[in-house]
Amino acid sequence: MINLETPKKARALINQAYQAASEVLRPISRKYDRAEHEYPVELDMFAAVLDGLNSSGEGGAGAAGVRRDEKEKATGNRNGGNLATVLGTIEMCWGDVGLLLSMPRQGLGNAAIASVANDEQLKRFAKTWAAMAITEPGTGSDSANITTTATEDGDSYILNGEKIFVTSGDRADAVVVWATLDKSLGRAAIKSFVVEKGTPGFEVVRLEHKLGIRASDTAVLRFDNCRVPKENLLGSPEINTSKGFAGVMQTFDNTRPLVAAMAVGLARAALEETAKILAEAGVVVDYDRPAHHQHAAAAAYLELEADYEAAYLLTLESAWMADNRKPNSLQASMAKAKAGRSVVDITLKCVELIGTLGYTEEMLLEKWARDSKILDIFEGTQQIQQLIVARRLLGKTSAELK
């Protein structure tokens, strides 16, 4: 059973992450929001500190993975790397989401490698900063319709296709690319490949200008007869039609709780700033009185805080289940859906509650409102998460419930 108290061994990490967010990320947040596509050089030294935390073996400073070893015996409740990473991510995104996404060696591709790579690949890509490329111009939210192809040729695969909305696609050292080995076999033939920068045929086409998370680069990538070594295929090369593409989808069991954690951290930042402004205006939020007996702004704030708490607990649950080798696909989608929707509602309402101050650049609230929307979109949109949850709860397949 999950314990809702913060694990004692994670408290030092949480404190360190909070200090980093407060002293490093917050002070430069507005600077890199305005200087879109300019690399935040302040992060280089900070990334080295995170590497040191990872090397210490404590976990929580980098991308953890959802790895399921059938041979592993249950040894009681475990609070491991996934929960620690989620707790650290919450604190860091209290500082700035875009800057966290710009952090070297902390990309979503690293989470994919951590989830499905073999031992040799884990060692070989340990110091690699990896982005993740899934979305394509014609696929929308349905990852099963990927058209980028990987054709076997001797000791290599040849990749052809285009990927869009790739976070850190320009700055990262490598990209984890989803491609199909055989379109006629559907989703079962979809595999993920680590494609390193500088590989012939791999081109960064352009960088996108965005509503939010401007500190993070978002790229369009093209693969034109791009030759990738066979040993860069993550997981098994075998096409198992009975299993579908569960191997690559396992990545989402890890990254969706991380995106939910980003949303939780950003929502907390907005709530704390709003509470401070309301208090200065004389609006008291009283937790001992019914909401309808309080100032309208206080009642609205209490509703937002309840929404935040629900998202927070769902996020912790999904990460805890991964640490304890429990199937967490349902919980990961629930956490992502709830947190993604809640952070948008919370940040926009906070802007509304504090009036003109919330709409100006005097405060970070307007930036947080812009940043929040992507957290309801990437790693699977709100609608896709609800569809996944419905399928899981009703016991329906993707063919039965579309």
pLDDT reported for residue 61 = 39
Measure the CA–CA gap between 151 and 154, rounded to whole angstroms: 10
Residue 242 resides in a domain: no
pLDDT band at 127, cuts 50/70/90?
A: confident
**CB of 318 within 8 A of CB of 328?**
yes
pLDDT reported for residue 59 = 46
pLDDT reported for residue 350 = 98
Find which of 137-146, 179-188, 334-343, 390-399 is predicted with most confidence, using mean pLDDT.
Answer: 334-343
Measure the CA–CA gap between 332 and 314, rounded to whole angstroms: 8
Domain identity same for 16 and 120: yes
- Per mean pLDDT, which range of 240-244, 321-325, 364-368 is the poorest? 240-244
Domain identity same for 230 and 252: no
Q: Give the tens place of pLDDT for each residue, 166-186.
A: 999 999 999 999 999 998 888
The conformation of residue 376, written as its DSSP 8-state character, comes to G
pLDDT reported for residue 325 = 86
Residue 2 resides in a domain: no
Domain identity same for 54 and 90: yes
**CB of 384 within 8 A of CB of 349?**
no
Domain identity same for 145 and 111: no
pLDDT surpassing 60 at residue 245:
no
Q: Give the tens place of pLDDT for each residue, 10-67.
A: 899 899 899 999 999 999 999 999 999 999 999 987 777 666 555 544 444 344 555 5
pLDDT surpassing 90 at residue 131:
yes
Residue 399 resides in a domain: no
CATH of the domain at 71: 1.10.540
Measure the CA–CA gap between 246 and 268, rounded to whole angstroms: 33
CATH of the domain at 189: 2.40.110.10
Measure the CA–CA gap between 168 and 350, rounded to whole angstroms: 29
pLDDT reported for residue 74 = 52
Backbone φ/ψ region at 148: left (φ over 0), alpha (ψ -120 to 50), beta: beta
Quote the radius of gyration of the chain (alpha carbons, Å): 21
> How many independent structural domains does the chain possess?
3
Mean pLDDT, range 156-175, rounded to an integer: 97
pLDDT reported for residue 65 = 52
Please, what is the end-to-end C-alpha distance for the chain in angstroms? 33
- Per mean pLDDT, which range of 69-73, 249-253, 364-368 is the poorest? 69-73
Residue 367 resides in a domain: yes
More confident residue, 277 or 6: 277
- Looking up tokens 């998370």 gives 213
pLDDT reported for residue 175 = 97
Q: Give the tens place of pLDDT for each residue, 69-115.
A: 544 445 567 778 889 989 999 999 999 999 999 988 778 888 888 88
238 is catalytic: no
pLDDT surpassing 70 at residue 215:
yes
- Three-state SS string over the chain comes to CCCCCCCHHHHHHHHHHHHHHHHHHHHHHHHHHHCCCCCCCCHHHHHHHHHHHHHCCCCCCCCCCCCCCCCCCCCCCCCCHHHHHHHHHHHHHHHCHHHHHCCCCCCHHHHHHHHHCCHHHHHHCCCCCEEEECCCCCCCCCHHHCCCEEEEECCEEEEEEEEEEEECCCCCCEEEEEEECCHHHHHHHEEEEEEECCCCCEEEEEECCCCCCCCCCEEEEEEEEEEEEHHHEECCCCCCCCCCCHHHHHHHHHHHHHHHHHHHHHHHHHHHHHHHHHHHCCCCCCCCCCHHHCCHHHHHHHHHHHHHHHHHHHHHHHHHHHHCCCCCHHHHHHHHHHHHHHHHHHHHHHHHHCCHHHHCCCCCHHHHHHHHHHHHCCCCCHHHHHHHHHHHHHCCCCCCCC
Domain identity same for 17 and 108: yes
State which residues form the domain around 53: 8-124
Residue 241 resides in a domain: no
Backbone angles phi, psi at 331, to 5 degrees: -65, -35
Domain identity same for 278 and 226: no
Last residue of a domain, one of 124, 143, 178: 124
Q: Which of 272, 361, 379, 400 is catalytic?
A: 379
Measure the CA–CA gap between 174 and 298, rounded to whole angstroms: 47
Mean pLDDT of the chain: 89
Find which of 40-54, 139-153, 229-243, 371-385 is predicted with most confidence, using mean pLDDT.
Answer: 371-385
Domain identity same for 80 and 136: no
Which tokens in the block code for residue 342? 């809640």
Measure the CA–CA gap between 143 and 125, rounded to whole angstroms: 24
pLDDT band at 398, cuts 50/70/90?
A: confident
Measure the CA–CA gap between 211 and 109, rounded to whole angstroms: 23
pLDDT surpassing 50 at residue 158:
yes
Measure the CA–CA gap between 257 and 271, rounded to whole angstroms: 21
